[in-house]
A = this chain, B = another copy of it.
Amino acid sequence: MSLLVVGSVAYDSVETGAGSRKDALGGSAAYSSVASSYFTRVGIVAVVGDDFRPEDLELIVSHGVDTAGLERRAGRTFRWSGVYGTEDVNTRRTLDTQLNVFADFNPVLSHRDRSQPYVFLANIDPELQISVLEQMEVRPKLVALDTMNFWIEGKGDALRRVIEQVDVLFVDEGEARELTGESNLVRAARSVMEMGPTAVVVKRGEHGALLLHGGSLFAAPALPLDTVVDPTGAGDSFAGGFMGYLAASGDLGHAAFRRAAAVGSVMGSFAVERFSLDGIAALTGGDIEERLRTLTDLTTLPPLGCGERLPMRNAP
């Protein structure tokens, strides 16, 4: 294994314009580990309750995900429920959050976990994210972090301390603005980079993602989809594809980061086409490559060659 994912495994109940699901497998570690499993060996550190269904464990294991770090505790699995807008599928309202066994989650890394070269710290308490990094015996090649407004507001100091230590930060537009106090997105993203990360991925939902890396800006498009069934897990699937691709390629150059963002966008697009993990659970390499080609074609622009001029009337 080469990618370590630390995050949540949850049962989600969602209602969208396309229907509803109750207690379906979800959580940041579930989505991101399965999305990354197509590219690289991955292990998860998370916690579930004694109500966790064998078939859900089997789904994760069947993707080759190492679940030795998936702790099982007495009590109920973390539950989240929410409703998405029927007109604007990007808006969602949380109905209920029950932390259950997740309330006492305290990730303890195994000997093997402590030397993984790629680490994805999915959205959990920033103090736990710091604790994970402190347990690493070897500085990983690449650490990526996800977070949410809840921690920006409640644990801003701890969050800033962990942001200082990571290479890649995933944020959405609102989080970038809240974290930096900058309403302009470009300035907010630059301000995030000054906090430490060498790459920032600003997630924009159906508008794709903006990658800042190596002094360069890349706009990864989102595939315009005929059908969006359930946006839950899109960001985690993006992060899983992104980290999985980087871990598999072993390349941390700028072109690899661009392609990682495109692969992330592809995995996010699969995720939202079905409920729960259904959209990313049964893909082939060919499915992923075909969609990556579609995504590339979507933004391919005949470049204006060096010295080539546009047809102009005359300079006014």
Contacts and interface: CB of A to CB of B under 8 A. Distances in A.
A313 interface: yes
Interface stretch (A68-76, A102-110, A220-228): A220-228
Interface of A: 17, 37-41, 62-64, 86-87, 183-187, 204, 206-208, 210, 216-221, 224-228, 245, 248-249, 255, 258-259, 262-263, 282-285, 288-289, 292-293, 295-304, 309-316
Looking at chain A's contact residues, the main secondary structure is loop
Contact of A204 (B207, B227, B262, B311): B207
A87 B174 CA distance: 11
Given A184-B226, A186-B225, A219 B299 contact: yes
Contacts of A206: 185
A316 B64 contact: yes
A148 B73 CA distance: 57
Given A204-B207, A224-B217, A225-B186, A303 B296 contact: yes
A183 B313 contact: no
Contacts of A258: 300-302
Among A184, A297, A304, find the residue whose CB has the most chain B CB atoms closer than 10 A.
Answer: A304
Contact of A298 (B217, B288, B311): B217
A299 B301 contact: yes
B311 A245 contact: yes
A316 B227 contact: no
A144 B39 CA distance: 45
Given A64-B316, A258-B302, A316-B37, A184 B227 contact: yes
Contacts of A185: 206, 224
Which 7 pairs from chain A and chain B are nearest by CB? A248-B311, A299-B299, A207-B207, A219-B221, A285-B312, A186-B224, A63-B316
